[in-house]
Amino acid sequence: MTDNAISIKNLVKNFDDEVTAVDNLNLEVKKGETFGFLGPNGAGKTTTINILCGLLKPTSGTVCVGGYDVTKNLKKVKELIGVCPQEAAVFKYLSGRENIELFGNLHKMSKKDLKERADMLIEKMNLTKASNRKAKGYSGGMIRSLNLIIALINSPDIAFLDEPTVGQDARARRETWKFIGDLKTQNKTTILTTHYIEEAEALSDRVGIIDFGKLIALGTPKELREKYNAKNLEDVFLKITGRRILEGI
């Protein structure tokens, strides 16, 4: 892998010739970095993540993940990444553990590794009691936790976590934060999208603030606060755009 886990050059994504969801985005994320993509609803965060994971094709521009061009070498990229999508991606009539095993088997993990890692992740995400129950009875927050375990079951080098804490209560959110902090200590790269300011602020080494598909600010939370003489990232967004990130949510 190169020093950059992610490299995005002149990325544009239009939908139906009407909506420009990503508007000439340039960005590099270093290996081992926890990078927070912060922006209001509809800013283009999920579209960017989906392009990086190969789920959507760019209109123009190039995206490289782990040194591989996503449009040319998706197979290699898939070996490096784990994705926790915004929408629940679990089988409701399987138990939490069966879901995890299913995805572990897709990654061709050995039975022993899969069991050990599943046990560890289930405990960390506080799903031990629920793990043998069918996922259809899980709360939204529990589904998020399960999605996160599935995304990380094969210890990917690069994790894409799209709004991982939406719907989680304070306790589950703390578990998730801790979990994301652990990824950093393992030198994994994490790309996190969120519209929770305190989440971006607490977890990210650097933050990219995105609005109408454009990157309007980039730096460590401290750098951005100092640059804009702002008390937090919400204030940074307000000073740049005159709007609040959470407006309309």
Ligand X SMILES: Nc1ncnc2c1ncn2[C@@H]1O[C@H](COP(=O)(O)OP(=O)(O)OP(=O)(O)O)[C@@H](O)[C@H]1O
Q: Which residues bind ligand X (CB under 6 A)?
A: 15-16, 19, 21, 39, 41-47, 86, 195
- In whole angstroms, how close is the CB of 98 to ligand X at the nearest point? 29
Report CA dihedral (54, 57, 61, 62) to the nearest 10 degrees: 20
Residue pair 96/133 in contact by the 8 Å Cβ criterion: yes
Residue pair 3/163 in contact by the 8 Å Cβ criterion: no
Residues in contact with 124: Cβ distance below 8 Å, sequence separation at least 6, in sequence order: 175, 178, 179, 182
- Please tell me the distance from the alpha carbon of residue 147 to that of residue 137, in angstroms, as a whole number: 15
Nearest to ligand X of 43, 192 (CB atom): 43
Residues in contact with 82: Cβ distance below 8 Å, sequence separation at least 6, in sequence order: 151, 152, 153, 154, 156, 158, 159, 160
Nearest to ligand X of 131, 204 (CB atom): 204
Nearest to ligand X of 177, 212 (CB atom): 212
Nearest to ligand X of 25, 153 (CB atom): 25
Nearest to ligand X of 13, 188 (CB atom): 13
- In whole angstroms, how close is the CB of 158 to ligand X at the nearest point? 19
- In whole angstroms, how close is the CB of 26 to ligand X at the nearest point? 17
- In whole angstroms, how close is the CB of 163 to ligand X at the nearest point? 6
- Rounded to 5 degrees, φ, ψ at 161 are -120, 110
- In whole angstroms, how close is the CB of 213 to ligand X at the nearest point? 7
